[in-house]
Amino acid sequence: IYGVLLTFSPAAADTIVAFFSDTDTVASDYDLIVTGDLGFIGSELLFKLLKEQGIELPNHNDCGMMIYSRNVQDTHAGGSGCGCSATVMASYLLPKVASGEIKRLIFLGTGAMMSPDSIKQGSAIPAVAHLVRFEHSGE
Chain segment 30-69, per-residue pLDDT in tens: 999 999 878 888 899 999 999 999 999 999 999 888 887 6
For the chain, how are helix, strand and coil distributed in percent, rounded to 5? Answer: 50, 20, 35
pTM: 0.85
74 — pLDDT class (breaks 50, 70, 90): low
Distance of CA 96 to the CA centre of its chain: 18
